[in-house]
Amino acid sequence: MGAGTIRSGAEMSLFAKTAQAIAALALVVTTLVPSQVFAWGGYGHRTTGEIALANIRPETRAAIEKLLKYEKPLGTPECPLATLQDATVWPDCVRRTRWRWGYTAAWHYRTTPICEDYRAFANCSGGNCVTAQIERNQRLLADESLPAPIRLEALAFMVHFVGDIHMPLHSGDKDDRGGNDRETAYGIVPGLNLHRIWDGALAERAITSTDGPIARRYSPEERARYSGGEPADWGRESWQTARDMVYPNAFDTDPCAGDLPDETALTQEDIVEAVPVAQRRIKQAGLRMADMLDRAFEPGALPEPEPRRR
């Protein structure tokens, strides 16, 4: 406040409160704008959950609603878990609390170099990778002898990882942590990285640029086209998509012909080419998630666990 201004106590406090509110708002705006515009990772995941929800059996939906009532015992009030859509983002939220959930960080991906032969079981020591964790958590979810909060936690991990495994850069890698180390512009927006673009801006554009809503009930023919396979197949598809589409699209060169530059840019043409690919991966994730949920809640639908692979 300027010197020489005289105000009563009440006016002072009103003035101070208004100034405080403006300062707080400015802080919120400056901290939220960059992340809200481009951090749509949650939007992609939530959409896969919405697709699944529109395509599961009514019995499955009822069983999920029952489990969601056990949100409180999990003890993660900062990461809500009241809906299936919440469940699709819960594992990303809790892993920020490293002292408690740090051990789950490696469960979100299983990257394989795009320029080497695909190795189906590499980079998964002790089952700490996305492929193994999808299967493990589906089994925990299906096991009615386990306490409900454990099954709810498994539900959240399973649905989140089904989303992650469909993102090509959670599987394919070119010495850059799945594109995280490649500074990439998105059209005229500089300073992002390739991984973040596929997680965020591109997924958002893919979701919002379909003819009808992407989250809807799909016909049996469509379901047959987009679903099927096992988590290992989905990871391989992602790896192949990274090798044949994501990297060549971003760098306009054969990614395996030599080293790639540290920086690149997606042009409008690149983005237009990438959108249908992102759309397909999001639909596949949602419909395969629906199948996994239906099977988890159908008594006797899952085969007996295989003996541990050596």
At closest approach, how far in Å is the CB of 143 from Zn ion?
23
> Token match 């003035």: residue?
15
Q: Is 237 in the site for Zn ion (CB under 5 A)?
A: no
Q: Is 45 in the site for Zn ion (CB under 5 A)?
A: no
How many Å apart are CA 4 and CA 25, to the nearest integer? 27
Residue nearest to Zn ion (CB): 108
Number of residues binding to Zn ion, judged by CB under 5 A: 2
At closest approach, how far in Å is the CB of 108 from Zn ion?
4
Of the candidate residues 108, 205, 243, 288, the single one contacting Zn ion (CB under 5 A): 108
At closest approach, how far in Å is the CB of 155 from Zn ion?
15
How many Å apart are CA 70 and CA 284, to the nearest integer? 29
Q: Which stretch binds Zn ion (CB under 5 A): 25-33, 68-76, 116-124, 156-164?
A: 156-164
Nearer to Zn ion by C-beta: 108 or 205? Answer: 108
What is the full DSSP assignment across 9-66?
HHHHHHHHHHHHHHHHHHHHHHHHHHHHHH--HHHHHHHHHHHHHHHS-HHHHHHHHH
Q: Which stretch binds Zn ion (CB under 5 A): 148-156, 164-172, 206-214, 232-240?
A: 164-172
Q: Is 164 in the site for Zn ion (CB under 5 A)?
A: yes
Q: Which stretch binds Zn ion (CB under 5 A): 8-16, 103-111, 186-194, 223-231?
A: 103-111
Q: Token digits for 43?
A: 């939007």
Four-residue CA torsion sign, 48, 49, 55, 56: positive
CA atoms within 13 A on the CB side of 4: 0
SS3 184: strand
Four-residue CA torsion sign, 33, 268, 192, 123: positive
Q: Which stretch binds Zn ion (CB under 5 A): 9-17, 157-165, 192-200, 268-276?
A: 157-165
At closest approach, how far in Å is the CB of 92 from Zn ion?
5
Q: Which residues bind Zn ion (CB under 5 A)?
A: 108, 164
